[in-house]
Structure 1
């Protein structure tokens, strides 16, 4: 059975509900192929700009750690290759942490970056690959058709293409990308506010195990697939949990639809205990108590679900 490992990769990881753990085999050794959680927050990160609420003031008072926008990494220790899922505004920090996890000899850039969509927390980190910063050379960027067109036809992203800082690799929904003989990534589309691009989710399949990544979706019932069945068919699922409940913001939340954690827990209520444990809530807005309220975190975990944490490792 797939083990969930927690690696104390971050200095601040232990600050959140004792979330830092070591592999359960009694060593500090990392598995040869694994998924690493580099960020868990919504696009704006935590703390959030111009927030004077208790949620963010806890950070400024030194009582909670910073959390970066949602980002995952896939590391193949056998080949020394690694791939990022999302290029967030915290790319510099996240790449440094990934580089160290993948081995200090890893230089340059990831072997590829998979993008989900054109909202600021998911692609703007590409700017650090440009000539104003790293001046990278042909970093593969995997993008669905509308996302590809957006990058190619809108500055400053188009300059990354013309200067060959990035090399866009076109992908198609439900068509697998083979990264190694036993590693493949399958993109699919989900309903979201697609102002500039479609929105992707990803299935990562390694040696017969599957990880599902859906950081953004409007509502589960709007999807043409059954999320419950998708969870059952996966070994782990990192799922959109932007908001904990309705009324969390002082605005009409129907304008920015996401599946509330309360809704998701109800929808997933008939899963077995083992199946619930596959669910990892991620992509938390700064108002979401999963970032700063230990009692609410405990409540969700007592119902059998998991809260994604930076530094968490999923072993394939």
Structure 2
């Protein structure tokens, strides 16, 4: 199985266009702090095509990372489908770029995400007038073959995580699964990867899932719960936004240090999080407990 981190930053990217926090200033000053695109992942089994996990606004440049050779046709798609873990703008707005596909987009997601992208942020209605969409429902607890079983060795299981609906769909009353994580399994190698770009709590079920994985890619959005309120850029805490902060006795870093998994990687990292700065005290704390800070282009082979 191959996993490639296409984008490792949270919404807005790094540096964020309208932010002058310490991290963004460092990224602009060429001091060894690398810019990052918005959160996205690509997964491929031992056989079969790449699948995109979340379509960020940076999807055009991200998909260039998946071109492993020259195509013999004028039109070529490096992906066979798109999985959506939620309906947030930074995970779905890239679908507008994919409207240029020559066949209907194969999209996998929950009914709640489909409703949000139909009634709230009407991307699916827009796409129907371009390439079209073939939606495959994937609800927590069900295992789905990605692509045809004959051609692809990859399966995925969605699992529910605590989350809130996007701000743009406050008028939609459904209380279904707004946010999910994904566990991918390769039927050939039997390797397992779990991806949770948004995670508000470590439940016993999620810890068990993490420990049954060969690699986990986990929400690393904020260092502190009051990170944005201290800066004066938001009135909401990390937990209110559905992200467990890294710091503290009950933070995700302390919890991950106790999780038995061969490889643990933080992704979806906000521009204000000091772990983005190499050699910062916070970065050293992360690395000291055996957790990696993911970066754009990182490829994991299992």
TM-score, L = length of structure 2: 0.82
Establish whether residue 266 from structure 1 lines up as the match of residue 248 from structure 2.
no
Establish whether residue 283 from structure 1 lines up as the match of residue 251 from structure 2.
no
Give the C-alpha shift of residue 76 in structure 1: 4.3
CA distance in 1, matches of 2:295, 2:103: 31
Q: Deviations over 1:114-138 (max 9, x none)?
A: 00111111111001122xxx25421
CA contact (8 A) 1:127 1:157 kept: no
Give the C-alpha shift of residue 252 in structure 1: 4.4
Match of 1:176 among 138, 143, 148: 143
Output aligned runs, 1:224-263, within 5 Å: 225-249=204-228, 250=230, 251-253=235-237, 254-262=239-247, 263=251
CA contact (8 A) 2:77 2:101 kept: no
Establish whether residue 309 from structure 1 lines up as the match of residue 295 from structure 2.
yes
Give the C-alpha shift of residue 248 in structure 1: 2.0
Q: Deviations over 1:85-135 (max 9, x none)?
A: 00000010111112x2x43328235100000111111111001122xxx25
Cα distance change of structure 1 residues 150 and 297 upon mapping to structure 2, 3 Å threshold: same
CA distance in 1, matches of 2:257, 2:78: 41
Match of 2:113 among 147, 150, 153: 147
Q: Structure 2 stretches of 5 or more lacking a match? A: 170-176
Output aligned runs, 1:1-316, within 5 Å: 33-63=1-31, 64-76=33-45, 78-79=47-48, 81-98=49-66, 100=67, 102-105=68-71, 107-130=76-99, 134=100, 136-153=102-119, 154-179=121-146, 180=149, 182-195=153-166, 196=169, 198-206=178-186, 207-220=189-202, 223=203, 225-249=204-228, 250=230, 251-253=235-237, 254-262=239-247, 263-272=251-260, 275=261, 277-295=262-280, 296-316=282-302
Cα distance change of structure 1 residues 305 and 265 upon mapping to structure 2, 3 Å threshold: same
Give the C-alpha shift of residue 45 in structure 1: 0.7
Q: Which moved more, 1:61-70 or 1:198-207?
A: 61-70
Match of 1:287, SS state, is coil
Cα distance change of structure 1 residues 205 and 123 upon mapping to structure 2, 3 Å threshold: same
Match of 1:184, SS state, is strand
CA contact (8 A) 1:136 1:165 kept: no
Match of 2:42, SS state, is strand
Residue-pair matches, total: 272
CA distance in 2, matches of 1:72, 1:43: 14
CA distance in 2, matches of 1:282, 1:65: 14
Task: Give the alignment's Cα RMSD to 1 decimal.
Answer: 2.2
CA contact (8 A) 1:136 1:166 kept: no
Q: Deviations over 1:8-57 (max 9, x none)?
A: xxxxxxxxxxxxxxxxxxxxxxxxx3111111110111111311122111
